[in-house]
Amino acid sequence: MAVVAMLTPQQVKAAIQDDCELALLDVREERAFSDPGHLLFAVPAPLSRLELLIAALVPRMAARIILVDGDSTLIDRAAAVLARCGYTDVSALAGGTGAWAAMGFEVFTGTNVPSKAFGEVVEVETGTPHLSAAEVAKLQTEGADLVVLDSRPLSEFLDMSIPGGLDCPGVELVHRARQAAQNPQTLVVVNCAGRTRSIIGAQSLINAKLPNPAMALENGKMG
């Protein structure tokens, strides 16, 4: 077993805030990561797949890594995997998220929390317009002039999508929207799985001065 330095919650908090390179890896399985909760900037790196994931997550082997789990029971095995892979600066949160929460520090449920929070800030600060699923479905039924652009990658789009939607990954939205909606009067509705990429996508089109009206689908595909 690899021996790693065990850090207090205060030390980990200081490391998160010091603006130096840090990979904060939660080695629990994804369900446990999502609920009962995790540190805000922790990235799921399940122990069962850590050896397969680590090169993509942390390309530089000298990068500072702090491991987290629920109660430190997985840390020794995770550290051993990283040692075999050649990582040299590995430490861990002593007591895991349980110790973190016991100190009064916040834990977050769900996944992709920082990006979701960013989407909410964008919507509040810019007033990104949105339509409910019922409103979009009504417009489609009435034959309104609109196009639904799904801002998810193709793999997610093929898994499940809104009838009539066109796949247009968010990074391509500004470039492709004019092709999909050549009439400047056509309403462009941007959707994703939940709501974050809908908000960011619609606001990107607005910021890019797309002549068409652009709106986010409230709560995305799930809505």
CA dist., res. 65 & res. 2, Å (int): 14
* Residues 9, 92 within the same domain: yes
Residue 86 sits at φ, ψ, to 5 deg, of 100, 10
Specify whether 63 is located in the same domain as 129: no
202: in domain: yes
Report the C-alpha gap between 25 and 39 in whole angstroms.
10
**For position 218, what pLDDT does the model report?**
92
CATH of the domain at 80: 3.40.250.10
What percent of the chain is predicted at pLDDT more than 70?
Answer: 99
**Residue 79: pLDDT over 70:** yes
Q: pLDDT per residue over 30-40, tens digit each?
A: 888 888 889 99
Do residues 136 and 197 share a domain?
Answer: yes
Please indicate, yes or no, whether residues 100 and 193 belong to a single structural domain of this protein.
no
pLDDT higher than 70, residue 51 = yes
Assigned domain for 223 exists:
no
Which of 111, 134, 160 marks a domain boundary?
Answer: 111
In a domain, 222, yes or no: no
In a domain, 209, yes or no: yes
Same domain, 105 and 129: no
Query: Do 16 and 92 fall within a single domain?
Result: yes
DSSP 193-220: SSSHHHHHHHHHHHHTT-SS-EEEETTT
The pLDDT of residue 1: 56
99 and 24 within one domain: yes
Q: Is the separation of the CB atoms in 39 and 66 below 8 Å?
A: no
Do 45 and 106 share a domain, yes or no?
Answer: yes
CA distances from 118 to 115, 131, 190 (A): 5, 20, 17
Question: Tens digits of per-residue pLDDT, 111-152?
Answer: 777 777 788 888 889 999 999 999 999 999 999 999 999 999
User: What's the domain count of the chain?
Assistant: 2
Cβ within 8 Å of residue 60, ≥6 positions away: 21
Q: Which strands make up the sheet holding 166-167, listed edge to edge?
A: 130-131, 214-217, 187-191, 146-150, 166-167
Do residue 61 and residue 89 come from a single domain?
yes
pLDDT of residue 173: 93
Domain that holds residue 143: 115-217
More confident residue, 123 or 13: 13
Q: Are 48 and 141 in a shared domain?
A: no
Is the model more confident about 117 or about 190? 190
Residue 2 has pLDDT above 70, yes or no: no
**Are 133 and 96 members of one domain?**
no
Q: Among 111, 135, 170, which residue terminates a domain?
A: 111
Q: Where are the beta strands (DSSP E) in the chain?
A: 5-7, 23-26, 43-44, 65-68, 90-93, 130-131, 146-150, 166-167, 187-191, 214-217
